């Protein structure tokens, strides 16, 4: 039987998680947002409020729609509050051990028919599903960043994912106004399998002194008509996330073309992770971003 999804839990109130909660609430779902601390949940809800206000000012949603959506959003201070939801989307940091820990805590609390989804951008759905009590009701629903603006969702079935789970997830993403692309469960799926090696190659181009940060980004914006240069995009994604996806590709496919660039590793070791830490390939502490190399 195909479950009708009405109540949604989102675990992780960061940029991706609050974006997912935002689009679910606007689309009419009741949403519970959870994170490891109440402060993080409150900060996620504050971001959603601000982003919805921006949508109202741009005429994308009405003030009434914003108020109604905010009413449908509830903080879940503990995972116990997700006991009655039909779908839980995990959107924690891109770290397999952390995700496994979340599922171990969460599964005993959920009703048996609830669907469990992960927003992982690269980790094996089959492997994550196997750590849960419901591999047949487990699926990858991978949103793009920023979630309210980006139209695509990658749907990824694990080897055990049942048709009912897949169909219910398709209906759900359609209700969010998103377009789905179905990807097979191989490292980094489709978008990041293509995008991250390009970003990694841009970092190699910088590392080898072929061009400066500014020259590389200008070249790809004006030469390949990309809306954002690859290094600027890396900073936006987060250099730690870029590195972890490249590591998943390198380990999962054992091909040297996926070797993370040593310069990317160095930036991550320095804690220069891009916009979220104010420094990456650009320094964001002043009025305008300045290249750091």
In this prediction, residues 239-248 reach a mean pLDDT of 95
pTM of the model: 0.91
Query: DSSP letter at 209?
Result: T
CB distance 206 to 216 below 8 Å: yes
Each domain of the chain, given as residue ranges in start order, spans 7-183, 191-291
pLDDT for 279 equals 98
pLDDT for 8 equals 98
Clarify whether 145 is annotated catalytic: no
pLDDT for 290 equals 97
Helices 15-26, 63-72: axis angle to 10 degrees equals 110
239/52 Cα distance (integer angstroms):
27
Clarify whether 164 is annotated catalytic: no
CB distance 121 to 244 below 8 Å: no
Strand runs labelled E in 169-286: 179-183, 282-283
Q: Which of 154, 169, 200, 244 is catalytic?
A: 154
The H or E element spanning position 88 is strand 87-90
Residue pointed to by tokens 């890396």: 234
Clarify whether 225 is annotated catalytic: no
> Which value, in Å, is the radius of gyration of the alpha carbons in the chain?
19
Structure tokens at 185: 């469960």
Q: Which of 90, 142, 200, 244 is catalytic?
A: 142
CB distance 152 to 181 below 8 Å: yes
CATH fold of 191-291 = 1.10.1040
For residue 3, what pLDDT band results from cuts at 50, 70 and 90? Answer: confident
pLDDT for 286 equals 95
pLDDT for 1 equals 63
pLDDT for 260 equals 98
Indicate the SS3 state at residue 212.
coil
Clarify whether 34 is annotated catalytic: no
126/67 Cα distance (integer angstroms):
39
What value, to the nearest 5°, has the Cα angle with vertex 173 and ends 168 and 174? 95
Residue 2 has pLDDT above 90, yes or no: no
Report the CATH number of the 7-183 domain.
Answer: 3.40.50.720
Topology agreement, domain 7-183 and domain 191-291: no
The tens digit of pLDDT for each residue in 162-175 reads 999 999 999 999 99
Average pLDDT, the chain: 96
Distances (CA, A) of 248 to 89, 96, 254, 255, 260: 21, 10, 10, 11, 10
Query: DSSP letter at 137?
Result: G
């Amino acid at each position: 039987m195909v479950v009708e999804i009405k109540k949604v839990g989102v675990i992780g109130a960061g940029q991706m998680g609050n974006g997912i909660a935002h689009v679910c609430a606007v689309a009419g779902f009741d949403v519970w947002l959870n994170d490891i601390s109440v402060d993080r949940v409150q900060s996620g809800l504050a971001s959603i409020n601000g982003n919805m206000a921006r949508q109202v000012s741009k005429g994308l949603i009405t003030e009434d729609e914003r108020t109604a959506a905010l009413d449908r959003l509830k903080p879940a201070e503990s995972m116990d509050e997700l006991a009655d939801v039909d779908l839980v989307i995990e959107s924690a940091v891109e770290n397999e051990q952390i995700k496994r820990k979340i599922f171990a805590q969460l599964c005993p609390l959920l009703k048996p028919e609830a669907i469990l989804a992960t927003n992982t951008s690269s980790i094996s759905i089959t492997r994550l599903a196997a750590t849960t009590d419901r591999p047949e009701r487990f699926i990858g629903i991978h949103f793009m960043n920023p979630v309210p603006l980006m139209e695509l969702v990658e749907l990824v079935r694990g080897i055990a994912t049942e048709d009912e789970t897949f169909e219910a997830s398709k209906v759900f993403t359609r209700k969010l106004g998103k377009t789905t692309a179905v990807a097979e469960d191989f490292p980094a799926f489709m978008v990041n399998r293509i995008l991250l090696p390009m970003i990694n190659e841009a970092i190699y181009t910088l590392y080898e002194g072929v061009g400066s940060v500014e020259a590389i980004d200008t070249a790809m914006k004006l030469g390949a008509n990309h809306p954002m240069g690859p290094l600027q995009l890396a900073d936006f994604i987060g250099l730690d996330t870029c590195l972890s996806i490249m590591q998943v590709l390198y380990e999962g496919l054992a091909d040297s073309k996926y070797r993370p660039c040593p310069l990317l590793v160095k930036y991550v070791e320095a804690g220069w992770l891009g916009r979220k830490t104010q420094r990456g390939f650009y320094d964001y502490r002043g009025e305008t971003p300045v290249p750091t190399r």
